[in-house]
Structure 1
Amino acid sequence: MNDYPDEYILPVDAWIQTAVDWLVAEWRPAFQVMRWPIAKFLDLVNDGLSAVPFWLFIILLLFAAWRLSGWKNAVLAAGSFTLIAMMGLWDQSMKTLAIVLTAVVFGVLTGVPLGVLAARSDRFWTVLRPVLDLMQTTPSFVYLVPVVMLFGIGTVPGVIATIIFSLPPMIRLTNLGIRQVPLEATEAGEAFGTTEWQSLVHIRFPLALPSIMAGLNQTLLLAMVMSVIASMIGAEGLGLTVLRGIGRLDVGLAAIGGGAIVLMAITLDRLTQSFAEKPQ
């Protein structure tokens, strides 16, 4: 009496499998077209980072961090990446950084326009909001299953999963920033004859920039998290180092991989946070 009758169980898993099989059979070329620009951009970033010697990268990072956020974060950034190099994980860290940067760039290119559109249309935001709620409450491992079915395995599918997982904060905070722009500012612009596009670019966007930068910060951190989980479908980088350490029961290998991830995440978080907090 305590068991649910089998004849009343809905075959939801079979329905989902049928839908995914249909997508793979009918839309495989379209998904490969979607994959192409991400793969090319990832190769470009990865090749660029790999071509720079570690000492030159650290010097450039030190200077950029000093200009963006002060000498304290500059020392933190240089020290963190120096320690990563001393642990012998430089190549893996550059691959992880390439994955994260690629995911953030495509996340911004997708999330900012959607956030602006959501801020300008209550009807669109009503439709988009439950989708974002679903994306943010879905466990990260669940993203890997449809990505593998549609795009295969490897680093590029891992980047695609990372983009999808890290996208919601960019949309939400862009929408929030645009909506919080004071009405007096936009009305003043309209009084001087600004067009809708001019109002967006010269009034709404600059005033919403702190919120948008906070969304960028959250997107970057989520991309960092997902880039590690994506190693389960063959994505290269520090996540693969941690996965190998766990698979071999090599605590030392897993520990240095995890430590490098923490150092990189703290560095990127401090730099983007300080840039977002700068007075506009």
Structure 2
Amino acid sequence: MSWLTDFPQMDENHLRDLRKTIDEAFRSFTRSYGDTFEAMFEPLRIFMVQAERFMTQTPWLITLAIILAVAWLGSRSVKAVLATAATMLLIGYLGMWDDTMKTLAMIFVCTVICIVIGIPLGIAMARWNRMQAVINPVLDVMQTMPSFVYLIPVVMLLGIGKVPGLIAVVIYAMPPVIRLTNLGIRLVDKEMLEAADAFGSSDWQKLKNVQLPLALPTIMAGINQTIMMALAMVVIASMIGVQGLGQPVLRAISNQYFTLGMFNGFAIVGIAIIFDRVSQAFGKRLQKHSEVSHG
């Protein structure tokens, strides 16, 4: 009657052999194709290095002016710009400027990659139900899989460094922009599409002139969530070599440096709030513009 109390399990020797077989197969794969994958991701490494170099080597006044200009263009709010200026100046005064610039470079590169890959995938999902049926389970796995788990194959394949850390962040942060692009296009009023058909619009013209403009506020919400999730991965990505605000936090955890961890943690929170407020304000402005132009 032991099967009633003890869950039936695979024989321990068979389980060990299965694990060993899978591990050996993956090690063999990494030895055979690791260099190929490194070469394939070399443009990504160059993009990351150039973005980081620009953010860290540009004089801080110019960088601050660019950040404030982006905050103003996104929010059109003096309060948001002043809050951004105060946050960035405090970060610089507390000696976290370089680490913050490295983190911003990573978030920028990650967001660009997520937009370039995620929006076309979201459009494809909205156009073809079969594509949605295939991609949805993959997105579910990407969102629910603990981030430490998919660090393992990435590190085994590409080693420690910027690129594997960036890939891990992209995997974690991409699902919202894909899902919300799909949702935004599917929610476009059918009457609008019928009117476009009546004017003889092609599928491309309907997408460019009707669906994307009307779905833009929802897509912006997806980009906002992608940025937030990328920032949430900063500390975890620092474990595999991504420089920025995450590394001092990791060092503070290892050595019990309370103030170092708290200061860098608050810097991450400050950046997250700035991104959130500016992108939300931009999304609301897009929504108002969309309602006015299609009202």
For 1:5 and 1:130, the matched residues in 2 are separated by 27
> Does the alignment pair 1:84 with 2:91?
yes
SS in structure 1 at match of 2:160: coil
Q: CA RMSD in A?
A: 1.8
How far, CA to CA, are the matches of 1:245 and 1:39 in structure 2?
28
Match of residue 60, structure 1, among 48, 60, 66: 66
> Larger deviation: 216-225 or 190-199?
190-199
Quick one: structure 1 residues 68 and 155, their matched pair in 2 at CA, closer, same or farther if it must change by over 3 Å? same
The offset of 1:15, in angstroms, is 5.4
Mark the CA change 1:19 to 1:108 in structure 2 (over 3 Å): closer, same or farther.
farther
Separation of aligned partners in 1, 2:222 and 2:28: 35
The residue identity in structure 2 corresponding to 1:202 is: N
Number of the residue aligned with 1:202 = 209
Which residue does 1:42 correspond to in 2? 48
Cα displacement (A) at 1:229 = 0.8
Match of 1:233, SS?
coil
174-183 or 52-61, larger mean C-alpha shift: 52-61
| Cα distance in 1 for residues equivalent to 2:226 and 2:22 | 28
1:155-202 residue CA offsets vs partner (Å, 9 max, x unmatched): 221111111111111110010011111111112112212111111111
Alignment-derived partner of residue 136 in structure 2: 129
Stretch deviating more after TM superposition (266-275 or 50-59): 50-59
User: Normalization by structure 1: what TM-score?
Assistant: 0.94
3-state secondary structure, aligned to 1:153: coil
SS in 1 for 2:256: coil
Q: Which residue of 1 aligns with 2:293?
A: none
For residue 155 of structure 1, the aligned residue among 154, 162, 177 is 162
Equivalent position amino acid for 1:7 in 2:
D
CA distance in structure 2 between the aligned counterparts of 1:124 and 1:231, rounded to whole angstroms: 34
Alignment correspondent of 2:292 = none
Among 4, 11, 16, the residue aligned to 1:7 = 11
Partner residue in 2 for 1:142: 149
Q: Name the SS of the counterpart of 2:239 in structure 1.
A: helix
The CA deviation at 1:226 is 1.2
- Farther-moved stretch of structure 1 (29-38 vs 83-92): 29-38
Q: Which runs of 5+ in 1 are unaligned?
A: none
Is contact 1:35-1:151 (8 Å) kept?
no
1:216 equivalent to 2:223? Answer: yes
Moved more, 101-110 or 1-10: 1-10
* Aligned residues of 1:230 and 1:239 also touching (Cα < 8 A): yes
Amino acid at match of 2:200: G
Question: What is the deviation of 1:68?
Answer: 2.3
| Unaligned runs of at least 5 residues, structure 2 | 290-295
Please state how far the C-alpha of 1:59 moved relative to its aligned partner.
2.8
1:26 deviates by 3.6
SS at match of 1:257: helix
Tell me, yes or no, if structure 1 residue 228 matches structure 2 residue 235.
yes
Structure 2-normalised TM-score? 0.89
Aligned identity (percent) is: 43
